[in-house]
Amino acid sequence: MSALRFNELRGEQVAYAIERQERTFLPDRDHCPLCPTLPGGPPTEIPLQAFEIVVFDNRFPAFETPHGAAEVVVYTDQHDASLGTLPSERVEDLMSVWRHRYAELSAREDVEYVYIFENRGVEVGVTLHHPHGQIYGYPFIPPVPRLELSADARLGGCAQCVLMDREVLDRERMILETSAALAYVPFAARWPYEVHLSMREHRASLIDCAPDELRDLGRSLQRVVQAYDRLFDRPFPYVMAVHQAPAKRPDDGHLHIEFYPPLRTAEKLKFLAGSEQGAGTFISDVQPEDAAAALRAKVEAGGV
Amino acid sequence: MSEKPQPRADERSLEPEAEEHAGELTVERLRKDDGRALIAYWRERPER
């Protein structure tokens, strides 16, 4: 059972889930717990011989009932796939799954913030290679979403709408535009190839999106990830963070997806070191406009 | 005449709880042996 302690000096919660020390760590593909359970094979987390998308309670939860939730979202039964290589229909279906989980978890009394995310690559701490994401239902609003709510107050309205308008006017950092979504390297990106994929219209959460908007979001998401993989001609590691309205404040948010990739070149990592960790100030080696130009070319190389 | 395939032991242990839809997907709620919830989302749900 995990436990929370409040770090007074930083004004934030820290979760202790010591059982997670025992979680499966980079198993070989014959012992992948996210593959289907096949006849004669070892049982996995998914006792089905084939599946499309599966969600289950994390065996090693950072949060659990009655103090939140931790779920695993497995995108496919194909071990070697990725968001970029899945059929586009599957990524569109994933948006419906996210929406379903957001709605259900948001309704729980012990969940204040539903956070959908994916860690991709050992560079960001992945312990299982099978394509999957996770969902945490926090029993509080975590610091980053809370900062975004503060930005709304500071900018006198939806911060995401304001920032997106600026990017549309500037255009220099835009990498993808569709009828429903925009993707850009933010003006003050912290990570070398950080990208924000945002709903063009104000949509507080996945629940507010029409079916065609969800399909567009899924296609756009896949195009961003494919551009990443083309950038250095290798699977591109990232943390993907879906930000939307807090569970009990359904109007206070703007659905967008932030990517934090740790690579600054094909071989070099951006580490969070002294300035980032001790002072909270990112120092980046890549100009956001240059990152956007490189990524825009890779999006265009993939076509629509 | 071939024998009708029987579900495997771990499939038999999954007890269906309900069925619903998420967009165009069929939602199949199951429960694992240890009590944890598992949800399968299907565009094309196989016959079982």
pLDDT the model gives residue A28: 85
Instruction: Report ipTM for this prediction.
Output: 0.94
List pLDDT tens digits, range B22-43.
999 999 999 998 999 999 999 9
Q: How far apart are CA A28 and CA A42, in angstroms?
A: 13
Q: Give the torsion through C-alpha atoms of A178, A160, A190, A101, to 10 deg.
A: -80
- Identify the three-state secondary structure at position A41: coil
Amino acid letter, A22: E
Interface with A, mutate which of B41, B42, B43, B45 (most A CBs under 10 A):
B41
A132 counts as catalytic: yes
List pLDDT tens digits, range A148-179.
999 999 999 999 999 999 999 999 999 999 99
* Number of cross-chain residue pairs from A and B with Cβ atoms under 8 Å apart: 67
Residues A128, A26 contacting (CB under 8 angstroms): yes
Q: Do B38 and A37 touch (CB under 8 A)?
A: no
The shortest CB-CB distance from B39 to any of A43, A55, A99 is to A55
- Residue (of A166, A202, A155) closest to A181 by Cα position: A202
